[in-house]
Amino acid sequence: VSDSWATSGVDLHLETTGPGVRVGLETALRDAIRDRRLVPGLRVPSSRALAADLGIARNTVADAYAQLIAEGWLAARQGSGTRVAHQPVALTRARVLPAASPLPYDLRAGSPDISRFPRSGWLSAARRAVNDAPSEAFGYGDPHGRLELRQALTGYLARARGVRVTPDRVIICSGFTHGLSLLCRVLRSRGATALAMEAYGTADHRAVAVGCGLRVDTLPIDDHGAVIGRLGDQAGVVLTPAHQFPLGMALAPQRRTSAIEWAADTGGIVIEDDYDGEFRYDRQPVGAMQSLAPELVVFSGTASKSLAPGLRLGWLVLPGHLVDDVTAAKALDDYTPALDQLTLAEFITSGRYDRHIRRSRLSYRRRRDRLVAALQGQAPQIHVTGIAAGLHALLELPPGYREEDIIECAAQRGLALEGLRVSGCTSVYTDSRTEERPDALVIGYGTPPGHAYNAAIALLTAVLMECAPA
Ligand SMILES: Cc1ncc(COP(=O)(O)O)c(C=O)c1O
């Protein structure tokens, strides 16, 4: 045991006193596994041996091992000790959506129609932004992000999403995923050990939290959204209140209040992932939850659905007590280019952003209506939900249908699909211990370019009819 350990070349740098020992040990082990200095299958020393080696308490090592087993980095098997797991969570993560499907038609969720990107409006805004930029804009930037963009977003978010915001509370980041990573790092540095996320959430987001050393607890979902009553002592909870991803319901008002009460009682924070809040079709948009309690809720928005994921632009609106620490974390990353920020600021203040959203909303609404009509006409056995907002719908499959069969059958006909449980790109995370839902497809009706949409829907209905179980 000690031989294989020694030859694996693990260099464990540890604080040897104080409460940081266990955390230091966990971090050192995670880093070593992530970097492959500890390879899958390698047996780690017994807690007694490692404790003696490092001169620390045996319980400290045992607790650290237990935590890493819970996170999936290590695996314990009766009789054969503790080994490095074969599929550590953070190494098996998949992208939210691969850059492009090799298939000609794509109805997976996660992307708007990127062929609609407003190229000429963006170019005009970029020209203006570069012309008008003060020289200091070409220097090293402020980690908060450009003030011009923070001011523009302050006006937009207050007006369009009901967010209570001033520019000093806004941090510009590279999309929600980056914002989440900043928050997880700050929470971890403050001693947090766990974060709660909604069942079926995006695998990437879980991987980000686990990669920061946090345990991720799963909140089940019912017809009213995330079951807030199941929150415990986590340091925070990530919610999609306007349009649950991927099931599609809005978080019920009572649940919103309960989440705020939980945060007030426990000191936890609510992270509001408002990824597609601009797109609501049948009623007024559901306002941001953040407005109920700006000191307890982090509001996070992104340009990934409203414009394009390739921009890598997002924003956090923070409670006062998080601003300095999140800014310090952001300063270490030092990306989100100033000229792109200035261009987006100009795009918003010139009114182009609102116009683009309004046009897109109309277009996606028509697509949604076409999808629903096509299914009603040709596959009435399919129950469609989650369509009041956003760019995706949930198609519940009748008993006997299996997601994997439909996905496979569609792929043979050139159509990329993903399911709630099984998906081609594993964009959705299923916790089978907490959720038992019928098999379903998550249809991203925003994804195809306009010219391919009708054909993609025709293929979908054909697949649902022709690939029905025998
Ligand atoms: C639930 C959810 N949140 C946020 C995002 C956006 O992430 P990002 O801003 O990092 O592109 C997505 C993208 O598909 C998503 O599905």
Mind giving me the DSSP string for 337-352? -HHHHHHHHHHHHTTH
Q: What SS3 state is found at 16?
A: coil
How far is Cα 202 from Cα 444, in angstroms, rounded to an integer? Answer: 14
- The pLDDT tens digits of the residues spanning 308-339 come to 999 999 999 999 999 999 999 999 987 899 99
> What residue's CA is closest to ligand 1, atom 14?
110
More confident residue, 406 or 90: 406
Q: What is the distance in A from the centroid of ligand 1 to the CA of 176?
A: 6
CA 126 / ligand 1 centre spacing (Å)? 24
Distances (CA, A) of 347 to 276, 305, 322, 357, 432: 19, 16, 28, 12, 43
Q: Across residues 110-119, what is the average pLDDT?
A: 95
355 membership: H or E segment, kind and range: helix 352-378
Regarding the beta carbon of 176 and ligand 1, being less than 6 Å apart is answered: yes
Residue range 149-157: mean pLDDT, rounded: 98
CA of 304, closest atom in ligand 1: 11
Ligand 1 mean position, distance from CA 302 (Å): 7
Compute the distance between CA of residue 286 and CA of residue 162 in angstroms, rounded to an integer.
9
| CA-178 nearest atom, ligand 1 | 10
Pocket test for ligand 1, best of 174, 176, 271 (most atoms within 8 A of CB): 176
Report pTM.
0.80
Looking up tokens 């010219």 gives: 451
Q: Which of 273, 276, 340, 427 to probe ligand 1 with, by most ligand atoms within 8 A of CB?
A: 273
Residue of higher predicted confidence among 320 and 11:
320
Residue 90 pLDDT > 70: no
What is the mean predicted confidence (pLDDT) over 13-26?
71
Burial class, 446, CB count within 10 angstroms (exposed 0-12 / middle 13-18 / buried 19+): buried
Tell whether ligand 1 has an atom less than 6 A from the beta carbon of residue 200. no
Kindly state if the Cβ of 273 falls inside 6 Å of ligand 1.
yes
Query: Which pLDDT value is given to residue 2?
Result: 44
In DSSP terms, 43 is beta-bridged to 83
Q: Does any ligand 1 atom lie closer than 6 A to the CB of residue 96? A: yes
pLDDT (mean) for 237-249: 94
pLDDT of residue 283 exceeding 90: no
Name residues whose C-beta falls within 8 Å of residue 201's C-beta, 6 or more positions apart in sequence: 238, 240, 245, 428, 429
H helix or E strand, kind and range, residue 450: helix 450-466
User: Range with the lowest mean pLDDT among 9-18, 29-38, 88-97, 411-420?
Assistant: 88-97
Residue to substitute in 93, 106, 275 for testing ligand 1 pocket (most ligand atoms within 8 angstroms of CB): 275
Q: How far apart are CA 147 and CA 135, in angstroms?
A: 14
> Which has more pLDDT, 274 or 4?
274
Contact 178, 333 (CB under 8 A): yes
pLDDT-derived band at 18, boundaries 50, 70, 90: low
Separation CA 14–CA 411 (nearest Å): 50
Does residue 433 register a pLDDT over 50? no
Which of helix, strand or coil describes residue 140? coil
Exposed, middle or buried: residue 250 (CB in 10 Å: 0-12, 13-18, 19+)?
buried
CB 162 within 8 A of CB 288: yes
Give the pLDDT confidence score for residue 17 in this predicted structure: 60
Task: Output the pLDDT for position 135.
Answer: 97
In the structure, what pLDDT confidence band is assigned to residue 35 with cuts at 50, 70 and 90? low
Q: What is the pLDDT of residue 430?
A: 43
Question: 177 CB under 6 A from ligand 1?
Answer: yes
Q: What's the distance, Cα to Cα, between the start and end of the chain in Å?
A: 54
User: Which residue in the block uniquely carries the two structure tokens 């020992």?
Assistant: 21
Average of per-residue pLDDT across 203-217: 91
pLDDT at 10 over 80: no
Contact between residue 175 and residue 313 where contact means Cβ atoms under 8 Å apart: yes
Pocket of ligand 1 contains residue 302 by CB under 6 Å: yes
pLDDT of residue 92 exceeding 50, the answer is: no
Confidence band of 143 (pLDDT split at 50, 70, 90): very high
Percent of the chain beyond pLDDT 90? 68
Residue nearest to atom 13 of ligand 1 (CA): 110
Q: pLDDT value at position 173?
A: 98
* Cis ω before 220 (30° cut-off from 0): no
Q: Which residue did the predictor score with more confidence, 35 or 209? A: 209
Of ligand 1's listed atoms, the one at least distance from the Cα of 314 is: 9
Query: Any idea which of 42-51, 80-89, 242-251, 267-276 has the lowest mean pLDDT?
Result: 80-89
Q: Has residue 435 got a pLDDT over 60? A: no
Query: Residue for token digits 């340091």?
Result: 235
* Strand arrangement, sheet containing 392-396: 383-385, 392-396, 440-444
